[in-house]
């Protein structure tokens, strides 16, 4: 546990990446697997994670992210996009996956299926999109922690135009919405932010025990 805390203390929102340093394929696959294993409500994973490597595409995205250089200088760009078309069919696909993975008859999962479908049906489109976008932040948190374990730098980013990202990436046609972004790679030696002391509330300020 002390190693985990040390790594979380080590990480920070990197302001300047070293564009010459790239993440190994093995480390990238570890990060992808960590995100895949991340928690989500019901285990439904109502989102996609789009990894953008194309330099020209990233230049276009940077223009819609206030010109933040992390978009282009980081080794990889992760875009967490929530599903805007979540419906009963999505639940059916999930139930099928449970059935095949656990060797359980689909019929035995009718109660779970009905419960999830009822919950989704009770939400307005706006509420449903808020809910699915929240799921991406859980996965983002897993990515940040996993990257810290590998001593890979990250920057979670909300400073971008989702509408512009959606248009550039064709998300509208895929039923997706860019919810949050993370750039991953290695800090530049000249990034002064790496030397700043981490500022957080104390446990007494943050936690309430009832």
Residue range 152-174, pLDDT digits in tens: 999 999 999 999 999 999 999 99
pLDDT of residue 31: 98
The yes-or-no verdict on residue 2 having pLDDT over 80 is: no
pLDDT of residue 152: 98
Question: In terms of residue numbers, what domain contains 171?
Answer: 2-206
What is the average per-residue pLDDT within 106-134? 97
The contacts of residue 187 (CB under 8 Å, 6+ apart) are: 14, 16, 17, 18, 153, 194
pLDDT tens figures, 122-148: 999 999 999 999 999 999 999 999 999
* Crossing angle of helices 88-102 and 110-121, rounded to 10°: 150
The yes-or-no verdict on residue 30 having pLDDT over 90 is: yes
CATH code at 180?
A: 3.40.109.10
The yes-or-no verdict on residue 1 having pLDDT over 70 is: no
Q: Domain tally for the chain? A: 1
């Amino acid at each position: 546990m002390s190693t985990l805390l040390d790594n979380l203390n080590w990480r920070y929102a990197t302001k300047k990446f070293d564009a010459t340093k790239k993440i190994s394929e093995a480390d990238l696959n570890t990060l992808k697997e960590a995100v895949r294993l991340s928690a989500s409500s019901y285990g439904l994973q109502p989102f996609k994670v789009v990894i953008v490597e194309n330099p020209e595409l990233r230049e276009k995205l940077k223009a819609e992210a206030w010109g933040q250089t992390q978009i282009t200088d980081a080794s990889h760009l992760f875009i967490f996009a929530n599903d805007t078309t979540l419906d009963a069919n999505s639940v059916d696909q999930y139930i099928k996956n449970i059935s095949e993975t656990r060797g359980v008859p689909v019929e035995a999962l009718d109660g779970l299926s009905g419960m999830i479908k009822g919950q989704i049906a009770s939400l307005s489109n706006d509420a449903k999109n808020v809910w699915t976008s929240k799921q991406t932040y859980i996965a983002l948190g897993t990515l940040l922690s996993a990257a810290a374990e590998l001593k890979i730098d990250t920057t979670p980013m909300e400073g971008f135009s989702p509408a512009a990202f959606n248009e550039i990436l064709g998300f509208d046609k895929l039923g997706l919405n860019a919810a949050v972004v993370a750039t991953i790679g290695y800090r530049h030696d000249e990034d002064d932010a790496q030397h700043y002391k981490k500022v957080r509330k104390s446990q007494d300020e943050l936690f309430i025990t009832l």
